Amino acid sequence: MTDPNVERKLIEIMRIISKSDKPLGARLIADELQNRGYAIGERAVRYHLRILDERGFTKKHGYIGRTITEHGQKELSDALISDRLDLVITRIEELVYKTTYDLREKKGNVIVNVSIIDKSDYEKAMDVLKYAINAGISISPRIRIVDEDSEEDDIFVPDGKFAIANVCSITYDGILLKNGIPSTPLYGGLMQMEAHQPVSFVDIIGYSGTSIDPIKIFINRHSTSVLDYIESGNGKLLANLRHIPGSAREKAHEVMELAKDSDINGYLQIGETSEDVFNVPMERGKAGIPVIVGSNAISAIAEAGIPVKAYPVSTIMDYNIMKKLE
Amino acid sequence: MTDPNVERKLIEIMRIISKSDKPLGARLIADELQNRGYAIGERAVRYHLRILDERGFTKKHGYIGRTITEHGQKELSDALISDRLDLVITRIEELVYKTTYDLREKKGNVIVNVSIIDKSDYEKAMDVLKYAINAGISISPRIRIVDEDSEEDDIFVPDGKFAIANVCSITYDGILLKNGIPSTPLYGGLMQMEAHQPVSFVDIIGYSGTSIDPIKIFINRHSTSVLDYIESGNGKLLANLRHIPGSAREKAHEVMELAKDSDINGYLQIGETSEDVFNVPMERGKAGIPVIVGSNAISAIAEAGIPVKAYPVSTIMDYNIMKKLE
């Protein structure tokens, strides 16, 4: 048994192959995985297919593609049903653990959101993105554009599309952890802004009891008013909330201030221990940290009428290959 | 201070009046409350307005309507912000407590979902509803249709619309409580059905950490395939999950079997103590009870292309004024 993340993808790949009435190639499988919310490239699919072949679960038919074996079919129906329900918090914890960015050396990986947009909307989307990022409603101005034929990035981009990777606010949790502070993401939500100031969370969805990313739910419901906010100072922005032990407040403050030297900035406050944060109650002994999330820039693109498929908290990326938009 | 439910509505009414640039009447206020997810009629609004007048928070201008006073404006901005974030679980607990239906006397209130549909879609919607209910994907065949000018029901129906009230699965939690069994709703979700059998939860959203009803999220995302399921036995149905103490399993079984005599039927099983329920992990010592929810009938209407505004877990209703569809 290798790591659970690989196992999950193996199962998903077997499910896709088993549902097809003809052999399937890596490209089609990657495409279908994409539809199911896995940001995984064709090369990564080939790697997984080799594991499946070795285990005798799939069979290769020259260049046509793979079919599932009887042995694979049994494996699929037996043990693997339990892997269909992925909780968001599981993926978050995995990515938090993999965040290696060092605030002093200014090197390492951060967590990114991946958003898929039609190439024909490139100019317009980049205009909105620039406008939104300059308005400061994203946690970092650095982004990376990934083309469909990129060799450097392990992000699957369908034909005719491009991807925007931007810094995800869960990076804060990874950085805090790397500095010895246990930080637990609690809720994704909508923050009511009035006169450029945060007033109250107006909606929240928990990270722990859900299989769909809360931020994705809010983007898809078109619940934000990022563009209105930029223009008037009033509106609803995407925000999330984590807690840390109250005793770590001072250290957390140092760490999050230091992060500003790396262009990572978006936390609103470190709440008082045991006290409500913008009307969300905290556990006794915990301090809440609300953050205006990176996905606001993506929601702004959606608000501008450009179709966008958002995958928040998607993968990790070397922060130094990400650049400020000029 | 009266009960928190009344206070919440008073605040919401003040917010609506304060945002208007002219005096507002009860009808317009009820309309706007409706948009914000409160199923409250014009008469009930008048009742609340009288309380606000008495407290000096609003002022009546003859038949034109109310404006907010300076005193009211201050009250609104001070104490009341905390009431903007309503957690679903709070409303659920309130309605569970108000469920009075007695399985032996066959009298009392159940919890209903309220769904608002355009009158011009009446025939088509009722056809789909009948089809869906006859297929058994709802927890009770009894419903109530509420017209816009109904005097008997305290459900607000906008002009040109009608409302369907159908039994909400949270009624089970109310009935279990009334029989001495503490039942805690945990998740709303999507159940994968294969060959007419439940196979696995494929998505879940927690009731406790969210301000938007999980079932409403799934209906609005068009994630169900109720009509496919009815035709083929395969598809995704709305389902939810609660837990009870493991020691109450036998008693719960008796209660839920007895409920069938009252046409209340939709629970899939009572899980083993401490064991996963369709791939959702349970706490130690707790037994999970998954239920195919009443909102499936409403989702079927939405799938048929009929616009519907769904308010799951909306209010309580005397079960004996609800009738089987002929």
Report pLDDT digits (tens) over A93-134.
999 999 999 999 999 999 999 999 999 999 999 999 999 999
Looking at residue A4, what is its pLDDT?
Answer: 58
| B218 touching chain A per CB within 8 A | no
Chain B residues lying within 8 Å of A203, measured CB to CB: 85, 211-212
The most confident of A58-72, A75-89, A237-251, by mean pLDDT? A237-251
A202-245 tens-digit pLDDT? 999 999 989 999 999 999 888 999 999 999 998 999 999 999 99
Can you tell me the mean pLDDT for A142-169?
88
The rounded mean pLDDT for chain A is 91
Question: What percentage of chain A exceeds 70 in pLDDT?
Answer: 96
Nearest chain A CA: its distance from B279 CA (Å) = 5
Identity of the residue in A81, A187, A210 whose CB atom sits nearest the CB atom of B205: A210
Distance from CA of A220 to the nearest CA of B (A): 8
A81 pLDDT higher than 60: no
| ipTM of model | 0.74
Q: In this predicted structure, what is the pLDDT of residue A241?
A: 98
pLDDT at B276: 93
Whether residue A279 lies within 8 A of chain B, CB to CB, comes out as yes
Nearest residue in chain B measured CA to CA from A213? B205
Model pLDDT for residues B142-194, shown as the tens digit of each residue: 999 999 877 777 787 888 999 999 999 999 999 999 999 999 999 999 999 98
User: Could you tell me which chain B residue has the CA closest to the CA of A207?
Assistant: B209
Residues of chain B under the 70 pLDDT cut: 1-5, 77-84
**Which residues of chain B have a CB within 8 Å of the CB of A200?**
81-82, 84-85
Instruction: Tell me which chain A residue has its CA closest to the CA of residue B191.
Output: A85
Overall average pLDDT of the A25-32 stretch:
91
How far B253 CA lies from chain A's nearest CA (Å)? Answer: 26
**What is the predicted pLDDT for the residue at B167?**
97
Q: Tell me the shortest Cα–Cα distance from B36 to chain A, in angstroms.
A: 12
Per-residue confidence (pLDDT) for residue B2, from 0 to 100? 46
Ranked by mean pLDDT, which of A64-68, A144-148, B288-292 comes out on top? B288-292
pLDDT at B326: 76
Any chain A CB within 8 A of the CB of B201? Answer: yes
- CB proximity A69 to B under 8 Å: no
Which residue is closest to A84 within chain B, CA to CA?
A: B202
For chain B, domains (ranges, CATH) are 4-84 (1.10.10.10), 86-326 (3.30.70.1360)
Cβ contacts (< 8 Å) between A205 and chain B: which residues? 205, 209-212
Percentage, residues of chain A above pLDDT 90:
72
Residues of chain B positioned with their CB less than 8 A from the CB of A202: 84-85, 211
Is a pLDDT exceeding 80 seen at residue A82?
Answer: no
pLDDT-based confidence at residue A259 (cuts at 50, 70, 90): very high
The SS3 call for residue B129 is helix
CB contact under 8 A, A85 and B210: no
Confidence check: pLDDT of A2 > 70: no
Q: A85–B202: do the CB atoms touch at under 8 Å?
A: yes
Tell me the chain B residues in contact with residue A209 when contact means C-beta distances shorter than 8 Å. Answer: 186-187, 204-209
| Chain B CA closest to residue A278 | B82
Partner A contacted by B13 (CB < 8 A)? no
Is 80 exceeded by the pLDDT of residue A83?
no
Please indicate whether, in this complex, the C-beta atoms of A209 and B186 are within 8 angstroms of each other.
Answer: yes
**B85, B189, B212 member nearest A279 (Cβ):** B85
Q: How far is A101 from chain B (nearest CA, A)?
A: 30
Q: What are the tens digits of pLDDT across the range A272-293? A: 999 999 999 999 999 999 999 9
A7-11, A150-154, B240-244, B266-270: which range is least confident on average? A150-154
In this prediction, residue B221 carries a pLDDT of 87
CA distance B144 to chain A (A): 29
pLDDT band at A57 (very low <50, low <70, confident <90, very high): very high
Checking if the pLDDT of A298 tops 50, the result is: yes
A280 vs B: CB within 8 A: yes
